[in-house]
Amino acid sequence: MASDSLLPLLFFISFLFLCSFPPKVPAVSTDQSARTFIFRVDSHSKPSIFPTHYHWYASEFADAPRILHVYDTVFHGFSATLTPDEANSLGQHPSVLAVFEDRRRQLHTTRSPQFLGLRNQRGLWSNSDYGSDVIVGIFDTGIWPERRSFSDKNLGPVPVRWKGACEIGEKFLARSCNRKLIGARFFVKGHEAAGAGSGGVPPITMVNDTVEYRSPRDADGHGTHTASTAAGRYAFQASMAGYASGIAKGVAPKARLAVYKVCWKNSGCFDSDILAAFDKAVADGVDVISISIGGGDGISSPYYLDPIAIGAYGAVSRGVFVSSSAGNDGPNVMSVTNIAPWLMTVGAGTIDRNFPAIVTLGNMRKLYGVSLYAGAQLNGTMYPLVYPGKSGVFSASLCMENSLDPNLVRGKIVICDRGNSPRVAKGLVVKKAGGVGMILANGVYNGEGLVGDAHLLPACAIGADEGELVKKYITSTANPTATIDFQGTLLGIKPAPVVASFSGRGPNGLNPEILKPDLIAPGVNILAAWTDAVGPTGLDTDTRKTEFNILSGTSMAAPHVSGAAALLKSAHHDWSPAAIRSAMMTTASIIDNRNQPMLDESSGKPSTPYDFGTGHLNLDRAIDPGLVYDITNDDYVKFLCSIGYGPKIIQVITRSPASCPAKKPVPENLNYPSMAALFPSSSSVGPSSKTFFRTVTNVGPANAVYVARVEAPKGVTVTVKPSKLAFTTAVRKQSFVVTVTADTRNLVLDDSGAVFGSLSWSDGNHVVRSPIVVTQLNLL
């Protein structure tokens, strides 16, 4: 991280200002068009004459027709369509704790269960009965219920605690639900209000041949994919046009699914609808929530202005585990999203499967890439090769719509640079212009990270280095030619896992004392169920039908962890969400299948905890972690106090009134399974120390002795007291202190602006590992 960059520092200063002076009302706007605002209301202020909060809101705050959602489970308040002046006026009401404008968010768009360490006859699958009777809520684009992945064959009755509903709508009937898909709801009021207010959101109808359903039915495919990844049924053959052939299975094949459609095709997901889904899901009785949604701008809002953080707190405080995607803005530093400490933040890694394609140039040079193209082959025929970007026209280099001259590309293989438009859309532009194939070249920003796509013409993605090679080849000969050969599916790829280049990276942009992401899970080229409403590219012009599709993104990684949480919840009913997260984090792996440190796909260099958190999910070990770092609701309140939030602001998040201790806590003392030490700049004189207080709970054999093993970051001293923890039947919890000492005048940080180490507790059978991160304040 560049030490002379002022942007992160300015953002940090701005955040501190917001914490001290939180905005209760929206900024004054000259645009007085109606829009949606979310109001956090002190529920205890309701006059007794009103039978419900809705009656109070409709009488005192907004006319009933303008109220979109009333929140009363994870959040107290309502959303309504108002002008900014009206919202500003209501924000002055003494019962209103906070007001924020509705915001649009975006989706963070088989073999992976085995890669996580799941096996049929032993371990977590067998010990949890495949997640039987745990209910997983999916917040996404809905579901295609007819897929075999959602069959209820041989499943028992719906859990009696379930209080949810199967909402009917367009092409979605009551019989669309079953003993597997036990609930389905859709949330459209925020979306429709945004469309009515700005005209920038398409309505939920047939628009320009784009299908969307005003029901839980999935017109996009993303929700069907994430649902089947988390909890798709086991034991039938699956592939995508022959790629990734094998037995279909989700991570928790017997878990029940409840789908909450909050995202709409081509128009995103609105905070007011997401918050309403949290409210309903917790009341319905879900055990796990999977949300692969984020801001998409690389900037995290303060927790009290982030409805995902607020809704997730309400869920976690009631015992519901929430898994969220880390975002796809990597490899930029500080690009990780969904960073509230009660959320499980999941980055993406590769698995040991790939879909290679080989580009052979006219000089017989071979370039290696990936593709999921399944149409007519080129059969070794050499075609003329052209790079439209050679002209210097930027749009032509990217193969944007209407940028290609048919006279230039007809009958040729076209090189297109990655960026600005969907990868598959570039191929369609080439095809329309008469090209016979495409080589999709990464830029420096993308590095060597590759994902497969089901292209509409013969096409192959290659890394930045080989992209430069093919462009140099074109300039070196008068008649450049090439062909593409598609190799199908290759297993046993090494190294794996590798941190995906797009995966959101740390440090945490709000509170760097809390390491984010928490871990990584499979998120590259993942096979899962798909909708019939659109072809595998997702393009409206793609009329192909497929039961399964292969996608990449942290969107694919988060449901792996959601399914894992369902298995752990089924095996350990008494574990809290924090205990489940701790079990996964402290047992995560930091080595690949070569027994070497995991690599970063974008650079080819060893990755760090800023890239992978605590490591890669390893469920073979997570079922029996030995010790866990548990966190209570009171602990989270103390954390919020430690970052400068006052009682009223904390109440926006926690719903209930809160008070802070007389002595201000420090954020690094949240009982998190990782430790990040922030030291003052190198201008300080002499060594300084940071102290971390932690408590672990024994969830293994009652009588056990754990011994500390420290791998200190380079140039740093780490001490642990006591260095030995003894547990008995009567003593299940033990506390310890970690002191990290560094002389910042002599501290040599790596390219990420930090140095890394670890603390591990071991009893000879278990290893409970926590990363230690050391950095300087002037680098954040």
Residues designated as active site: 140, 222, 555
- Check: CB of residue 652 under 8 Å from CB of residue 314: no
- Check: CB of residue 34 under 8 Å from CB of residue 197: yes
Buried b (16+ CB within 10 A) or exposed e, 348-360: bbbbbbbbbbebb
Query: What would the two tokens of residue 648 be?
Result: 């009223």
Helix or strand holding residue 656 (H, E): none
* Gap between the Cα atoms of 401 and 433, Å rounded: 10
Q: Is beta strand 498-499 parallel, antiparallel or unpaired with respect to 754-762?
A: unpaired
- Check: CB of residue 462 under 8 Å from CB of residue 470: yes
* Gap between the Cα atoms of 709 and 721, Å rounded: 12
* Gap between the Cα atoms of 347 and 517, Å rounded: 6
Torsion over CA: 276, 232, 494, 374 (sign)? negative
* Gap between the Cα atoms of 503 and 520, Å rounded: 9
Angstrom CA distances, 458 to 398, 763, 777, stand at 17, 55, 50
Helix (H, G, I), strand (E, B) or coil at 661: coil
| Secondary structure letter of residue 412 according to DSSP | S
Q: How many CB atoms lie within 10 A of CB 248?
A: 24
| Secondary structure letter of residue 141 according to DSSP | S
Q: How many residues does the chain have?
A: 780
Query: What would the two tokens of residue 609 be?
Result: 């905890």
Helix (H, G, I), strand (E, B) or coil at 348: strand
Q: In DSSP terms, which residues pair with 499 in a beta bridge?
A: 349, 600
Query: What would the two tokens of residue 665 be?
Result: 């806590």
Can you list the pairs that 668-671 forms with residues at least 24 positions away whose Cβ atoms lie under 8 Å? 668/513, 668/692, 669/638, 669/642, 669/693, 670/341, 670/513, 670/514, 670/631, 670/635, 670/636, 670/638, 670/639, 670/642, 671/578, 671/629, 671/630, 671/631, 671/635, 671/695
- What are the DSSP calls for 700-749, one per residue? S-SSEEEEEEEEPPTTEEEEEESSEEEE-SS--EEEEEEEEEE-TTT---
Q: Pinpoint the alpha helices (H) of 364-485.
A: 394-397, 406-409, 423-432, 464-476
